[in-house]
Amino acid sequence: MKSEETLLLRVVRSERAERVPMWMMRQAGRYLPEYRAIRKDRSMLQMVQTPEVAAEVTLQPLKRFPLDAAIIFADILTPLIGMGVSLDFVAGEGPQLAPHIRTQADVDRLSLPHPSESVGYTLDAIRIVSRELAGKTPLFGFSGAPFTLSCYLIEGGSPGDAANVKRMMYSAPAVWHSLQDKLSQLVIEYLVAQVEAGADLLQLFDSWLGLLGPSDYKEYVEPYLLRIIDEVKARVSVPLIFFGTSTGGLFPQLSKLNADAFGVDWRLSLPDAETRLGRKIPLQGNLDPLLLCYGTWEKIRPEAERILNEGRGLAGHIFNLGHGILQETPIDNVERLVDFVRNFKA
């Protein structure tokens, strides 16, 4: 079967489907014993930077569950290393980046190498996985979006309330805009390179976008998202899904983006998301990952069923969690969920 014909690609193009496709954000990760076995002797970065290992880990969840997509094992922060930033994942503390980017001189020092030089390992991993999947299951490439990448660059780690990010926006807007311009170039080239290496579709993660209100979104973020999505879609012809969390208040504006589908977290129902977008477009989501982690199947099932029923009226529905799967999630819950979604008649 050609990859253009797979279920998920049809749904993202608003075509009719016999069932609801499903994948999970962070589906390759620490909730899987086979991931932990490989991780035991290596750091997260070593795994990402060794194409054979990244490829193997990408395929692990597909060997265990009949999922409808793979997502390449990398991180939104790895492309920043090539800009001259040091990145470390510190157990219990999350990602740590240095130096913090705060001034125009800091922005000017960030370099923009071609992705084949800076993240060649991820492009190689895509080539391996793409060959293995042979078009039977589509492979996602992905990137962080400039706002979320800026949060990590400016704050040096998870942004909290993003005080330094907003300080730059409000007190040094020219610095902010030059940083966004540079990151937009990085993101465009990275996404295009992933498709050229074999990715079948793309997801753009703007995980922290919900920290902004509508006016700030419009002034400081929207021009760059418009530009990235338009330019990527002009250069490569694969679908692109836009994902953020806590972005309910921004949905009317996000609607202007030329994405093929939007990810929705659990805070907003799928029909409410569609109403706020004001148009028919496929949606992806939106089970609370904490429910999948801590709920019994008796609690998880009715929620999954509600989401699937709500998905019926949409232009298209890709089942996913509202955010990444948690490390403590019981495999049994995942197995039952995948089975339930797979057997639900669309």
Residues designated as active site: 26, 30, 39, 75, 152
Contact residues for 71 (Cβ-Cβ < 8 A; gap 6+): 23, 25, 27, 28, 58, 139, 140, 142, 203
Burial class of residue 177 in the structure, from the number of CB atoms within 10 Å of its CB (0-12 exposed, 13-18 middle, 19+ buried)? middle
Q: Minimum Å distance from CB 184 to ligand CP3? A: 17
Identify the residue among 135, 324, 336, 346 touching ligand CP3 (CB under 6 A): 324
Min dist. Cβ of residue 139 to ligand CP3 (A):
11
Helix, coil or strand: residue 92: coil
Binding residues for ligand CP3, rule CB under 6 A, total: 23
Note whether 311 binds ligand CP3 by CB under 6 A: no
266 binds ligand CP3 (CB under 6 A): no
Encoded one letter per residue, x for contact with ligand CP3 by CB under 6 A and - for no contact, window 201-240 reads ----x-x---------------------------------
CA dist 249 and 243 (Å) reads 14
CB 205 within 8 A of CB 141: no
Q: Where are the beta strands (DSSP E) in 111-200?
A: 139-144
Please name the residue that has the structure tokens 């009719």.
16
Q: Does 142 engage in binding with ligand CP3 (CB under 6 A)?
A: yes
Contact predicate 182/110, CB 8 Å? yes
Q: Which region, judged by CB under 6 A, interacts with ligand CP3, from 8-16, 89-97, 130-138, 270-278?
A: 89-97
Binding to ligand CP3 by residue 30, rule CB under 6 A?
Answer: yes
Sequence letter at residue 18: E
Could you tell me the smallest distance in angstroms from the CB atom of residue 268 to ligand CP3? 16
Provide the binding-site residues for ligand CP3, judged by CB under 6 A: 25-30, 39, 44, 71, 73-77, 89, 94-95, 142, 158, 205, 207, 323-324
